[in-house]
Amino acid sequence: VIQRLARRLVWAVFVVWATVTLAFVVSHALPSDPARMVAGAQARPQDIARIRKELGLDQSLFVQYARFMDRLVHFGPSDTAVGKEHATCAQIVGPLHLDLGKSAQQRRPVVTILAERLPRTIVLALAAAFVQVLLGVGAGVLAASRKKTAVDHLAVGASLLGISAPTFIIGLFFQWLFAHRLGVLPLDGWGDTFSAHVASVILPALTLGVFGAAYYTRLVRDEMIGQLNQDYVRTARAKGLSRGKVVIRHALRNALMPIVTILGVDVGTLVGGAIVTESIFRWPGLGSLSVAAMLDRDGPVIMGCVIVTAVAVVVSTIAVDFAYAALDPRVRAER
Amino acid sequence: MRSIRASSSALRSIVRGVGLALALAIAGCSTEFPAPIPSAHPDSAEPRRGGILTSASFGEIRTLDPANIGDGIVVQILEAMFAGLVDYDLDGKIVPDLADHWTVSEDGRSIRFVLREGVRFHDGDEVTADDVKRSVERALHPSAPNPYSTYFASILGYAAFTEKKAEHLEGVSVEGRYVVTFTLDKPDAAFMPLLAMHPLRPVCKSGGTRYSDTWMPCGAGPFKLMPGGWDRGRQITVVRHEGYFRPGLPHLDAVRYLFHVNFTSQRFKFTSGQQDILRDFLAPDLLRIQADPRWTPFGRYDLDTQVAGLAMNTEMPPFDNVEFRRAVATALDREQLRLVRAGNLRPAFTPVPPQVEGYDPSLKGQHFDLAEALEHMKRAGYPYDPVTRTGGYPTPIPYLTYSQGLDEFMVQVTMQQLARIGIRLDVRIVNYAAFLALRGRRKQVAFGPQFWAQDYPEAGSFLEPLFHSRSINDEDSNNAAFYKNPRVDELIDRGRRELDLDRRKKIYGEAQEIICDEAPWAFTHYYRFYAQWQPYVHDYKPHPVWTTDPKRVWLDRVAGPVAARAVFSGDALAKLFGDRP
């Protein structure tokens, strides 16, 4: 298992490196000027040139890349507060530093910005995944076990609606209904206290959840119908197990495999940022950060967001792999 | 049979559900605005102390350092936090602020300021002439990412200081605790207007002699930032500076700005009293609220401070032909174009917006005349017959614009208008950053939108960057038409040196006549914002330069927040969980 994990980690590092390099090249190839975006649309060429130099953008792409990679992971003093040189670093473990540089726009270390945003995004991602699974699997199981009844049709119909309606429609509708009309939940934002955070996460999580749940409903339903027709289900029923027990304990467990795959990828993507939902609900997460960074050509922040997203997807894929083993004895045996 | 019926009833319920949702959504978007929230004491004009004024924007700020300004939203917050030697009043006139008075030398080259005594920074220190000099040097030193640095190049010794050949700026001298003199290398009509802007405003001693990214902003303005007051990407709250030098001001306890609030959310927040001023409108909402007599007493246009038009690159064919440019400028029906966003646009015929100093209503300017435009096309060598639709310019002209901006909509009308004189456009849309980069590059973009907001409220702030040949550069050229006319250059330079207002207006007027005639731009519209406030907001007047100046605003709300309806809101849940908001 350890050897397998090590192999996966090496592969993961390569994937992240390749993504970052690609993103670096692409963001530099665009016909735009980060210094102009810092200085403003009306700044004079001389002022732009001074800012460009100050940001190190007057160097060649190769030099910039080499400098970025050189700083990215390096060894330094165990205390980043010492000296100016490591002011933009975050410590991974002990003297191992992660340095993503300084945002051109905000002029703060990218690691600080990410540290502010990432927890908020993870909260939303997990809450949304929870809603997705709860609604999706619940409706899917119900639909499959009541195949071709009103319940089934309603679940399938609702999921069609969920898939068809984009998040900005669902989000605006929820906002209008729950926050504006009924006034039971905050309209947007993040809140100042723990309880306000909880209240604030409900609507964005529901929005993402309802949209995502639609896929799960269909997937679980089809998967479950397949499973419920299997011999082992009939055997279990013949053994005298109750219908509910068979559905939940046996069929659902087998149907979970594809769900876990999708969920893993979903969580990874959600961490990368639910861009539309974050902007509707003014959720201060990675999605809104990366959009702003992209529009402003804020290179270091773009790189930071790319790295976080790449790592999130890679980690969740590895997690899915190991979840397979936990769920399915056959996969375990193969190893 | 059963299942069919079931499914059809399920389908019906879905259809009903969707219908209901859509109806609600449409109703939510199209109902008229609810009634304004009245003042608690409508008959009293006595300012009341206290309260938080909340406004919002869809954008964000990235810094609060006067030596590093780069976005339009931040100026109103800087205005609340930093006082300058001079400032703009509500009529756009320059008035004393930290300076008690000033005298200009006979040759116009030096200005001697005498400061008010006893003015306190947010940290309690007194503002002295040393602080003025230190703050100027801090903002103009090349270590500061100040995008406006070169605007102050007329200060004596600027070049030596910015090239690090001198430790101090020669042109700023301290002549006592409360006296500071600015010396310029030549008379500069733009200097006082520029000084009234934010970059050189005095900062606390904690700001040091050189710019630093980690400084906690601190000035001498009516409001101050407390630790934790700025939650990046979300909101900023500045609180009353108890030591502010104008007695009794400000009335408000605090001012709060929310960021990244989209237009629909702003509308919801505004109508429920969670936001007191609304400036970002969906186009139909703006027209609706302007037509609602309950709201009109509490709304007003800002001054127009932006001009927009179509820049024609005079170095690239076919726009190197002045007759061709005249044809375009004469073919645009600005009254029709304006309707793309009727609530905000006014037709433009000259480069200087009506309320900016140097606007001259007697100028002929550009105008719309289809027959004349066709005549110009003929003279340019591309006669067009509108009846048979033959002739005109043989190939579509590439037109570069940017996504998610107003021009994306306006260009559709522009295309139709230019088609009437035989000009076809090939519209290419890129993102804003790419648009800016390409537009300023030599011989890159033949045709496209261009817009300019005043840096300071004076004609020179428009004419010099847009039409002076000095503003031409191979990259990042602000003169996007790459327009060059020695006579115009000379007039602009003369205007900048002319300290007499009437003579200056005349000089700038002559320059504008030439520019309108030679048409490096076809001017299209001036953009102005509309501000709407709740009746309980008093003495709020849109500021001609800063948008909002909260110094004199006061609130008179019914006790208790109107918006406390949310049962599951933070407050209610806080009680449930037992933690304090």
Summarised one tens digit per residue, pLDDT across range A98-125 is 888 888 888 888 988 998 888 888 888 8
In chain B, which residues have their Cβ closer than 8 Å to the Cβ of A108? 213
- How many angstroms away from the CA of B437 is the closest CA of chain A? 5
Contact B476 A193 (CB under 8 A): no
In percent, the amount of chain B with pLDDT more than 90 equals 56
Closest in A108, A150, A188 to B265, CB measured? A188
pTM of the predicted structure, to 2 decimals: 0.84
pLDDT in tens, B484-505: 999 999 999 999 888 888 999 9
Q: Report the pLDDT value the prediction gives residue B313, as an integer from 0 to 100.
A: 95
Of the pLDDT bands very low, low, confident and very high (cuts 50, 70, 90), residue B192 is: very high
Of the pLDDT bands very low, low, confident and very high (cuts 50, 70, 90), residue A274 is: confident
Chain A within 8 Å of B211 (Cβ-Cβ)?
no
Contact B274 A44 (CB under 8 A): no
Interface size A-B, in CB pairs within 8 Å, comes to: 202
Cα–Cα distance measured from residue B422 to residue B540, given in angstroms and rounded to the nearest whole number: 49
Closest in B70, B473, B477 to A40, CB measured? B70
Residue B201 in this model has a pLDDT that exceeds 70: yes
Of the pLDDT bands very low, low, confident and very high (cuts 50, 70, 90), residue B127 is: very high
Average per-residue pLDDT for chain B: 87
Residue B536 in this model has a pLDDT that exceeds 70: yes
In chain A, which residues have their Cβ closer than 8 Å to the Cβ of B233? 117, 284, 288-289
Stretch among A290-304, B198-212, B383-397, B508-522 having the lowest mean pLDDT: A290-304
User: Of B404, B435, B505, which Cα lies nearest the Cα of B463?
Assistant: B505
Contact partners, residue A169, CB within 8 Å, separation at least 6:
B25
Stretch among B67-71, B192-196, B527-531 having the lowest mean pLDDT: B67-71
pLDDT average, residue stretch B177-184: 94
Chain A within 8 Å of B149 (Cβ-Cβ)?
yes
Would you tell me the crossing angle of helices A286-296 and B432-439 to the nearest 10 degrees?
A: 10
Q: Report the pLDDT value the prediction gives residue A171, as an integer from 0 to 100.
A: 86
In chain B, which residues have their Cβ closer than 8 Å to the Cβ of A150? 6-7, 9-10
Q: Report the pLDDT value the prediction gives residue B569, as an integer from 0 to 100.
A: 45
Tell whether omega for the bond before A95 is within 30 degrees of 0, i.e. cis: no
Of the pLDDT bands very low, low, confident and very high (cuts 50, 70, 90), residue A7 is: confident
> Testing the interface with A: which of B573, B576, B577, B579 to mutate, by most A Cβ within 10 A?
B573
Chain A within 8 Å of B20 (Cβ-Cβ)?
no
pLDDT average, residue stretch B260-273: 89
pLDDT average, residue stretch B399-416: 92
> Testing the interface with A: which of B163, B232, B272, B274 to mutate, by most A Cβ within 10 A?
B232
In percent, the amount of chain B with pLDDT more than 70 equals 91
Q: How many residues does chain B have?
A: 581
In chain B, which residues have their Cβ closer than 8 Å to the Cβ of A113? 232
Chain A within 8 Å of B62 (Cβ-Cβ)?
yes
User: Of B196, B214, B198, B195, which Cα lies nearest the Cα of B206?
Assistant: B214
Please give the residue of chain A at the shortest CA–CA distance from B264: A172
Residue B333 in this model has a pLDDT that exceeds 90: yes
User: Of B155, B166, B143, B163, which Cα lies nearest the Cα of B190?
Assistant: B155
Closest in B269, B272, B570 to A195, CB measured? B570
Contact A51 B473 (CB under 8 A): no
Please give the residue of chain A at the shortest CA–CA distance from B432: A295
pLDDT average, residue stretch B156-185: 91
Residue B265 in this model has a pLDDT that exceeds 80: yes
Question: CB–CB of A200/A191 below 8 Å?
Answer: yes
pLDDT average, residue stretch A40-44: 84
Of the pLDDT bands very low, low, confident and very high (cuts 50, 70, 90), residue B9 is: very low
Q: Report the pLDDT value the prediction gives residue A208, as an integer from 0 to 100.
A: 86
Residue B388 in this model has a pLDDT that exceeds 50: yes
Cα–Cα distance measured from residue B234 to residue B257, given in angstroms and rounded to the nearest whole number: 9
Q: Report the pLDDT value the prediction gives residue B580, as an integer from 0 to 100.
A: 37
pLDDT in tens, B84-114: 999 998 888 899 999 999 999 988 899 999 9
CA-CA-CA-CA torsion sign (A136, A141, A142, A148): positive
Residue B560 in this model has a pLDDT that exceeds 70: no
Residue B481 in this model has a pLDDT that exceeds 50: yes
> Testing the interface with A: which of B7, B58, B579 to mutate, by most A Cβ within 10 A?
B7
Closest in B69, B258, B566 to A186, CB measured? B566
Interface of B with A in 105-124 (CB under 8 A): none
pLDDT average, residue stretch B544-569: 70
Q: Report the pLDDT value the prediction gives residue B84, as an integer from 0 to 100.
A: 93
Contact B10 A154 (CB under 8 A): yes
In chain A, which residues have their Cβ closer than 8 Å to the Cβ of B471? 44
Q: Report the pLDDT value the prediction gives residue A25, as an integer from 0 to 100.
A: 86
Of the pLDDT bands very low, low, confident and very high (cuts 50, 70, 90), residue B14 is: very low
Average per-residue pLDDT for chain A: 81
Highest mean pLDDT (candidates A232-236, A238-242, B245-249): B245-249
Exposure class string for B513-536: b at 16+ Cβ within 10 A, else e: bebbebbbbbbbbbbbbbbbbbbb
User: Of B569, B11, B394, which Cα lies nearest the Cα of A187?
Assistant: B569
Phi-psi sector, B218: left (phi>0), alpha (psi -120 to 50), beta: beta
**3-state SS assignment for residue B452:** strand
What is the interface pTM, i.e. ipTM, of the complex?
Answer: 0.81
- How many angstroms away from the CA of B402 is the closest CA of chain A? 12
- How many angstroms away from the CA of B497 is the closest CA of chain A? 20
Interface of B with A in 471-510 (CB under 8 A): 471, 473, 475-478
Interface of B with A in 401-430 (CB under 8 A): 430
> Testing the interface with B: which of A50, A54, A142, A160 to mutate, by most B Cβ within 10 A?
A50
Q: Report the pLDDT value the prediction gives residue A199, as an integer from 0 to 100.
A: 87
